[in-house]
Structure 1
Amino acid sequence: MGSQIEAGDVFQIAMRIEENGANFYRYAVQVAKEEKAKEMFGWLAGAEDEHKVLFKEMLSRIETQAPPDSYPGEYGIYLHNYADNNLIFKKEAMDAALAKLTDTLSAIDFAIEREVDSILYYHEIKGFIAKDQHESIDKIINEERRHFKVLSKMREGYS
């Protein structure tokens, strides 16, 4: 039995997750009260943008097989909607959570939860792709772990 999802799908979803993450961090810059936190969230937004570029480069280096589209771009739209509505930054949950963010600490806590969710998602998705593609997924996991560490260190200052 073949894989149900290709590494290319994972990278396209990863790009969308990173895009949504960058948007969150830009919002967190506005919520944060302390200048140091604003700078950190701004840096994280930029890092998410860089990760999206990295994942796009990774995607370009692998062979992808998208199913036939009923109309141009259908599969890409499907993957974007899937990432937006079913994964790390689910729209309804995101909107509700963002409404509760009133200070730096709540923004940090939310960001830490999303980074952990991302790590778990990428780790679990490895079960659906070919073993020769695991190294690329591990690179994504390492990037998300780095964000988790940065946020956790930042959180220590608010305990």
Structure 2
Amino acid sequence: MSFEFNADEVFEMAEQIERNGAAFYREAADTVTGDPEGRGFLIRLAEMEEDHEGVFSEMRASLTDEQRAATVVDPNDDALDYLRSLADTRVFFQRQIDTSSMWEILKAAIGIEKDSIAFYLGMKDMVSERRGKEKIEAIIREEMEHIRLLSHELMARKGEQG
């Protein structure tokens, strides 16, 4: 079955991914001992994820009726349930993550952020211009900023690699 998603559906998933990301970074921060700077960095990332959730929520609220309109008849919300399951499992939770060191946490986080971008790129192809494709591009730019920050921190800790 083929679906065309609207921007409203994708923003709902973006909000969930950001909630999942905040939880991941907070849990990772709880495992970091003896590295207050690393713990603080992870907490700041969690706060950024929460801020991004707010940004995406505002962007979602600003969508036009056309951008919110259902694209297919889906009385059981199967398409939305599919997207929700992808957001909940594929981006932040379907992998074993070594939280024994900041180096490993940062490497895993970069991979996770790349997965989220891949998810959004795939979703962008399923959202037409009139349904808000440019809004999905804004999500991708936000996630690319996460990778930049994580990569910078990883390089600053190069001597800590295991």
Matches of 2:16 and 2:58 in 1, distance apart?
14
Matches of 1:120 and 1:78 in 2, distance apart?
16
* Matching residue of 2:102: 104
Give the drift of 1:101.
1.8
Residue 38 (structure 2) pairs with residue 40 (structure 1): no
Amino acid at match of 1:143: E
* Matching residue of 1:65: 69
- Among residues 108, 125, 128, which one is paired with 2:126 in the alignment? 128
Give the drift of 1:10.
0.7
Gaps of 5+ in 2: none
SS of residue matched to 1:128: coil
Gaps of 5+ in 1: none
CA contact under 8 A between 2:3 and 2:79: conserved in structure 1? no
Matches of 1:30 and 1:126 in 2, distance apart?
34
Matches of 2:122 and 2:82 in 1, distance apart?
20
TM-score computed with the length of structure 2 as normaliser: 0.81
- Among residues 59, 83, 89, which one is paired with 2:87 in the alignment? 83
Q: How does 1:134-145 map to 2 (within 5 A)?
A: 134-145=133-144
Runs of 4+ in 1 over 3 A off after TM superposition: 65-70, 73-82
**How many pairs were matched up?**
150
Give the drift of 1:74.
8.6
Q: Percent same amino acid among aligned pairs?
A: 29
TM-score computed with the length of structure 1 as normaliser: 0.82
- CA root-mean-square deviation: 2.3
Residue 118 (structure 2) pairs with residue 117 (structure 1): no
* Matching residue of 2:8: 8
CA contact under 8 A between 2:9 and 2:80: conserved in structure 1? no
